[in-house]
Amino acid sequence: MASIELKNLRKSFGAFDVIKGIDLRIEKGEFMVFVGPSGCGKSTLLRLISGLEDITSGDMIFDGKRVNAVAPAKRGIAMVFQSYALYPHMSVYDNMAFGLTLERGHSKEDIRRRVEKAADMLQIRPYLDRLPKQLSGGQRQRVAIGRAITRDPKVFLFDEPLSNLDAALRVATRIEIARLHADMDQVTMVYVTHDQVEAMTLADRICVLRDGLIEQVGTPLELYEHPASLFVAGFIGSPKMNFLTGPKVEAYGCATLGIRGEHMTIRPDGIWEGTVIHAENLGSDAYVYLDMGEAEPVVVRVDGTATVKSGEVLRVSPLQERLHRFDAAGRPIR
């Protein structure tokens, strides 16, 4: 129920600038995902939104009101941490109720009703009397999300909430978060992650950060199809986009030619030739690493049923309309 506006936002720790001037508008009910390499300032930006960290300069605006000096608890936000951050000495119920008991004016029944409602949404009702240490990692993270829901926030903040979970739980909890977002369509969510799949599947828009600045903001498909820079092109999508810089590129009139593994096909009349270095078969599909005389091996995605042997020489062709051309400064040529 809140739009968030960041205006020329900066944050320094002592002489060290971490956030170097960010302008961004996050719409009501939007799911915004922050991605970027480690240390680029994602968590710091999230903490600035939460109010846990003081703003060095610039403005933070919630629903048209400047909240620079507003305490975290008064911003109508809730946060879910990578480490869950459950209070270890309190039962699940008390963990979820803690925020409400600190606020004046909630009756016992009111608190119970809200905790139980949140617990039902996340199927953690049976664990309400347990201590956090008696829960599995996945259950703990659901409790942490439940604690956030209980506060009935206008803005949900997530800092890598799934990184401590194993692969299967990650998928399950990711789907849970997506469902939650659908159920609470008025609630704005800001989500920090390292994970490509989380970013692509959850986000309405993705914000790619690099070294304290925004590199590009857009829908997952916009970023995938029209990266605004070499950096974004290399960051979004898995496996990473191939960048060709060798003699082949000259024909295309650019410094770097980008092509994703899934946009190349192996065919006898392919225009490029390469030697298989290695092949990874994931079952559904396989990644073939080719030596094409480029600085790095070129990855081609093929069907999982294909059989490819190391040392084999293959010919590949890119889909012409999927080629990305970049100039020497790393900007796309359109």
Which of the listed partners (other proteins, Mg ion, ligand ATP, none) does 39 bind, with a CB threshold of 5 to 8 Å by partner kind? Answer: ligand ATP
Q: Which does 133 bind (CB under 5 to 8 A by kind): Mg ion, other proteins, ligand ATP, none?
A: other proteins
Stretch that binds ligand ATP, among 38-46, 181-189, 199-207, 250-258 (CB under 6 A): 38-46
Contacted by 85, from ligand ATP, Mg ion, other proteins, none: CB < 5 to 8 Å by type: other proteins
Opening angle at CA 283, ends 277 and 286, nearest 5: 30
Q: Which is nearer to other proteins, 1 or 131 (CB)?
A: 131
Pick from 43, 141, 193, 216 the residue near Mg ion by CB under 5 A: 43
- Of 39 and 246, the one with the shorter C-beta distance to ligand ATP is 39
Q: How far is CA 255 from the centre of its chain?
A: 29
Among the listed residues 2, 32, 43, 95, the single contact to ligand ATP using CB under 6 A: 43
The smaller minimum CB distance to other proteins, of residues 2 and 264, is found at 2
Report, in Å, the least distance between residue 1 CB and other proteins: 17
Question: Could you tell me the two tokens for 207?
Answer: 């914000």
Our finding on whether 1 is near other proteins (CB under 8 A) is: no
Helices (H), 25-153: 42-50, 92-102, 108-121, 137-150
Least distance from C-beta 105 to other proteins, angstroms?
A: 12
Work out how close the CB of 283 gets to other proteins at its nearest, in angstroms, rounded to a whole number.
37
Q: In this complex, which beta carbon is closest to Mg ion, that of residue 83 or of residue 305?
A: 83
Least CB distance from residue 206 to Mg ion, whole Å? 16
CB of 36 to ligand ATP, least distance (A): 6
Q: Of these, 24, 32, 33, 42, which contacts ligand ATP (CB under 6 A)?
A: 42
Number of H helices, E strands in the chain: 8, 18
Which residue from 25, 39, 65, 267 is in contact with ligand ATP, where contact means CB under 6 A?
39
CA distance 298 to 195: 22
| Cα dihedral 116, 122, 128, 131 sign | negative
Cα angle for residues 294, 296, 300 (degrees, 5° grid): 90
To 5 degrees, how large is the angle CA 77–CA 80–CA 81?
130
Give me the DSSP letters along 193-253: -S-HHHHHHH-SEEEEEETTEEEEEE-HHHHHHS-SSHHHHHHSSSSPPEEE-SGGGGGGT
Distance from C-alpha of 320 to C-alpha of 17, rounded to nearest angstrom: 42
Q: Does 14 bind other proteins (CB under 8 A)?
A: yes
Of 12, 37, 66, 88, the residue at the interface with other proteins (CB under 8 A) is: 88
- The answer to the question of residue 78 lying near ligand ATP (CB under 6 A) is no
- Closer Cβ to ligand ATP, 38 or 107, answer by number: 38
Give, for 5, the enclosing helix (H) or strand (E): strand 4-13
Cα–Cα distances (Å) from 187 to 3, 28, 32, 145, 175, in that order, read 9, 7, 11, 14, 17
Token code pair at residue 141: 């993270």
Q: Is 40 in the site for ligand ATP (CB under 6 A)?
A: yes
CA distances (Å), origin 315, targets 18, 198, 250, 258, 299:
46, 34, 19, 18, 13
Task: Reduce the DSSP state of residue 141 to 3 states and report it.
Answer: helix
Give the footprint of other proteins on this chain (CB under 8 A).
13-14, 47, 50, 52, 71-73, 77-79, 81-89, 98-99, 102-103, 132-133, 147, 151
Give the footprint of ligand ATP on this chain (CB under 6 A).
13, 16, 18, 36, 38-44
